[in-house]
């Protein structure tokens, strides 16, 4: 459920590409990298939902030694903008229940349409973040990272 909701946070108002925006091998490798979900949260929050700045932030990163295609970056940038415009609470707390519920209904369908991904194949930054918050201080376990 959280995966669908968080990726709703990244759904789009202006869909870049219908159906295959993130289905290339490099995109899949980058999206499956454990560092992608927290970087996605960081870039979107740091840039307060600004599409272009979030894309620039993600573009400057490598995930599993891969970069995201421009089309895939556009899908996520559009979704960040959707969350900022339609779900203002997401600018403050991306992983709150309110943000997740809002983006699930207002943004997720466009994200899935744009990326060619679905609730099962999209990485879930909030799921990973919530697991880390529940872990005792000092404990780490990479087995918690959920890869799509």
Cα separation of the two ends of the chain = 14
pLDDT tens-digit profile, the chain (148 residues): 444 444 444 443 333 445 789 999 999 999 999 999 999 999 999 999 899 999 999 999 999 999 999 999 999 999 999 999 999 888 788 899 999 899 989 999 999 999 999 988 888 788 766 554 444 445 444 444 333 3
The pTM (predicted TM-score) of the whole model is 0.75
Q: 33-36: long-range contacts (C-beta < 8 A, 24 or more apart)?
A: 33/63, 33/64, 33/66, 34/128, 34/142, 34/145, 34/147, 35/61, 35/63, 35/64, 36/63, 36/123
Coil, strand or helix: which one is 15?
Answer: coil
Largest Cα–Cα distance in the chain? 43
């Amino acid at each position: 459920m959280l995966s669908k909701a968080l990726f709703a946070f990244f759904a789009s108002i202006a869909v870049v590409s219908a159906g295959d925006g993130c289905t290339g091998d490099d995109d899949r490798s980058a999206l499956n990298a454990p560092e992608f979900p927290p970087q996605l949260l960081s870039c979107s929050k740091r840039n307060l939902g600004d599409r272009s700045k979030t894309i620039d932030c993600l573009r400057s990163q490598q995930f599993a030694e891969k970069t995201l295609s421009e089309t895939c970056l556009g899908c996520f940038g559009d979704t960040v903008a959707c969350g900022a415009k339609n779900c203002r609470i997401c600018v403050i707390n991306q992983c709150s229940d309110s943000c997740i519920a809002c983006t699930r209904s207002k943004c997720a369908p466009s994200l899935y349409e744009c990326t060619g991904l679905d609730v099962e194949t999209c990485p879930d930054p909030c799921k990973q973040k919530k697991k880390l918050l529940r872990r005792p201080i000092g404990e780490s376990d990479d087995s918690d990272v959920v890869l799509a």
